Amino acid sequence: MTTTKIADAAWVAAWDKEAERHVYARDIDVVFRDDRIVHVGAGYDGAHDALIDGRDLFVIPGLVNIHTHPADEPAQKGVREEMGVPEMYMSGLYERLQAFHLDADGHRAAAEVTYSELLASGVTTVADLSAEYEGWIELIARSGLRGYVAPFFASARWVMESRHRLGYAWDEAAGSAGLDRALALIEEVEKHPCGRLSGMLYPGQIDTCTEALLRDATAAARERGLPLTTHVAQSVVEFNEMTSRHGVTPIQWAEAVGLLGPGAILGHAIFIDQNSWLHWPGRRDLAILADSGAAVAHCPTVFSRYGQTLQNLGGYLRAGVTVGIGTDCSPHNMIEEMRAAAILARVTAEDIDTLHTADVFHAATVGGASALGRDDIGRLAPGAKADLVLIDLADVTMRPARDPLRSLIYTAAERPVRAVYVDGRAVVEKGQVKTLDRADAVARLEAAQARMLAAAPEHDYAGRDAAQISPPSLPSGRVG
């Protein structure tokens, strides 16, 4: 056994079990033995094998990211940031996915870039929502992350027929086969010798899965004790499709087919019946979410680029909805995602007191852990996993550190992250990811993105090239 003592940590975001909240503690010791925290408090005088001087450190629990797409999204850098389709209620989701396709090498490079970004921003647990690709399991294991592997399956794929019409190509047999394959892969994942990998069922989107597939996936998840995630209420296009098919909102359809409940994680849940973009009668969805025990994976950055937000995150929390944070797309920076969540919530609610910094920090740690059914991550307390992040208070971006959590979230982001531990193992040291070659992965991603962009006319419904689909932010011109 190896015992590590962080001595006299200047600030610690410690877990108050009785109050069920994070609290500040000052000038205390944090001690972990192998993969577990054994002491958080003053005056640890037990034996230790390694000593870390904590006098200029802010120690926080590892962040828990419950919704991200590592194997694709980094390739969209420079492509998707301003890509929206007004005829599809501003969403650029469908246009982008039908036009741009990464190859297998690109998926591996993208995932390695994502894992590096996540670790560098203090993420220790990630739900990886990806289509299966060769080398996936070994790569996430090598990263050092605590990973929830969620292989994609669905009964249909989207087909963009024009800028104002979305179609569906149905293959129900493929959906059922995908569920079987996902279960087989998850069984393999959970036997991995690293001991940090778990499975999650991921029927892609509520509008691309038949009722039978959703019911089968839900039953399989509950039988095996697996979390389940799907995209629900993520666009006005989806909302209109589901209300046209069933006469009820996507949230109400999810309830009707038995999807909701503890262990279910709904990607986004933005367009619920009270959203001002919809003008839908009734205000039932929020209560349904709260009463069901399902969780919401909130990913504010990606939707803000379309001019969309989850309207009043504070209202979701006060209603009793479990909310975790996800990065979804690039940048895969959880600290910046917390900042966006806090600021956008106040803007949409027109109320600075609708939620506070503690609320978004809770969502990014304990909220995500609760969504995954875990009480041993997302907190610094004896018995919890030794997943923790050391923030350098001497970094200029953190100073003055009157309130270090505010300094971190609103100013510093990942820049002062000095070290990250997962299961007591250092995976980031001196701000550098130890387990992956980030520079090499970025170089491979650049080459893969070039191939993806060159192939766009073969996939685009109108045969457009990448520059037509996503024009550069500045036009080309002559100078001099």
| Alpha helices, H only, 320-403 | 334-349, 357-362, 368-371
Mean pLDDT of 214-233: 98
Q: Which residue type, as a one-letter code, is found at position 147?
A: G
Characterize 206-234 residue by residue with b for buried, 16 or more Cβ atoms within 10 angstroms of its Cβ, and e for exposed.
bbbbbeebbebbbebbbeeebbbbbbbbb
For the entire predicted model, the pTM comes to: 0.97
Residue of 426, 413, 247, 241 whose CA lies nearest to 335 = 413
Cross-strand partners of 57: 392
Show the tokens assigned to 18.
């009785």
209 secondary structure, DSSP code: S
pLDDT in tens, 321-361: 999 999 999 999 999 999 999 999 999 999 999 999 999 99
Kindly indicate the confidence band of residue 292, based on its pLDDT and cuts at 50, 70 and 90.
Answer: very high
Do 393 and 416 touch, CB atoms closer than 8 A?
yes
Q: Which residue type, as a one-letter code, is found at position 108?
A: R
Query: SS3 for 341?
Result: helix
Q: Which residue type, as a one-letter code, is found at position 67?
A: H
pLDDT over 90 at 214, yes or no = yes
Tell me the Cα Rg of the chain. 22
- For residue 161, the model assigns a pLDDT of 86
Express as a percent the part of the chain with pLDDT over 70.
100
Q: What is the C-alpha separation between 263 and 101, in angstroms, rounded?
A: 31
pLDDT in tens, 187-213: 999 999 999 999 999 999 999 999 999
62 secondary structure, DSSP code: P
Show the tokens assigned to 77.
């850098």
Q: CA 474, 477, 480 angle in degrees (round to 5)? A: 130
pLDDT over 90 at 93, yes or no = yes
Kindly indicate the confidence band of residue 478, based on its pLDDT and cuts at 50, 70 and 90.
Answer: confident
Do 63 and 337 touch, CB atoms closer than 8 A?
no
Q: What is the C-alpha separation between 37 and 77, in angstroms, rounded?
A: 38
φ, ψ dihedrals at 109, nearest 5°: -65, -45
Q: Which residue type, as a one-letter code, is found at position 178?
A: G
Q: What is the C-alpha separation between 228 and 93, in angstroms, rounded?
A: 22
- For residue 452, the model assigns a pLDDT of 98
pLDDT over 90 at 1, yes or no = no
pLDDT in tens, 231-285: 999 999 999 999 999 999 999 999 999 999 999 999 999 999 999 999 999 999 9
Cis peptide before 331 (omega within 30 of 0): yes
Q: Are strands 146-153 and 165-170 parallel, antiparallel or unpaired?
A: unpaired
Cross-strand partners of 63: 123
pLDDT in tens, 132-170: 999 999 999 999 999 999 999 999 999 998 999 999 999
Domains of the chain, with CATH numbers? 3-61+382-433 (2.30.40.10), 63-371 (3.20.20.140)
The chain-wide mean pLDDT, for the chain, equals 97
DSSP secondary structure of 426-480 = EEEETTEESSS-HHHHHHHHHHHHHHHHHTHHHHSTT---HHHHS--SS------
Provide the 10 A C-beta neighbour count for residue 122: 28
Mean pLDDT of 367-393: 98
pLDDT in tens, 40-85: 999 899 999 999 999 999 999 999 999 999 999 999 999 999 999 9
Number of residues written out for the chain: 480
Cis peptide before 475 (omega within 30 of 0): no
Q: What is the C-alpha separation between 96 and 436, in angstroms, rounded?
A: 29
Residue of 178, 177, 246, 173 whose CA lies nearest to 206 = 246
